Amino acid sequence: MSTDSSEDTLSPKVYQKLLEVLGEDYQYATQVVTYSEVQGCGYDYVGMAEFRDALTHVKRAIDADDETVAFDELNSVSEHIRRAAVESMQEYVEDKYASIKRRLYVNMKNKKRISELEQNIKKNIFQGREAKPSKKWREAIGYFKEAEILLHQLDEEAPLIDVRVEQFKRIVYLLIAVITGYLIAIV
């Protein structure tokens, strides 16, 4: 299996494992990483680093002189593919939550509903973190996706500071216009 001889090729078992590793899970992981990039409006360095590491292990598996070593390398590929997906989605969702949390208006009228949404967001992030190291990593993505849906609701329902600032600015501008009009009328 090494590259020393042009006659060396992958064993059928290693080749089959390589096809399996680069099959459904890889396709799903690339979709998740792309989704997190598009939704997060940025390049996903974590996901890309994991894919790079996966590719390094593919190269090592191809170059391995021993089937056992090749299988170990391909198992590492699977792990990096899993990490690319779950770490990307987790980072995107947690960044989105932090962004919204910083903009929440403290004195809100619907505090109970907002608190409920936040608790459910945190619960889903927690469950996603719990599921991600196991074989249930697709389940982890599901929890992060559910947290994202709740984050959209929070973003829509919660009074955000920037919205309140805009409302305040409008009132100030209106008052300035009224005072200016009054002063012009006096003069």
Helix axes 45-63, 12-21, angle to 10 degrees: 170
Domain-embedded: residue 4: no
Confidence check: pLDDT of 169 > 80: no
The alpha-helical segments, DSSP class H, found in the chain are 12-21, 24-40, 45-63, 67-103, 111-131, 137-157, 161-186
The predicted-structure confidence for 119-141, as pLDDT tens digits, reads as follows: 999 999 999 999 988 778 899 99
In degrees and rounded to multiples of 5, residue 159 shows phi and psi of -70, 120
Give 145's Cβ-side CA count (13 Å radius). 10
Domain-embedded: residue 7: no
Confidence check: pLDDT of 173 > 60: yes
**Residues 125, 119, 109: CA angle, nearest 5 degrees:** 140
Domain-embedded: residue 36: yes
Domain-embedded: residue 127: yes
Average pLDDT on 109-122 reads 87
Domain-embedded: residue 135: yes
Domains of the chain: total? 1
Q: What does the pLDDT read at residue 122?
A: 94
The predicted-structure confidence for 49-95, as pLDDT tens digits, reads as follows: 999 999 999 999 999 999 999 999 999 999 999 999 999 999 999 99
Q: Domain span at residue 162?
A: 12-186
Domain-embedded: residue 46: yes
Domain-embedded: residue 30: yes
Domain-embedded: residue 116: yes
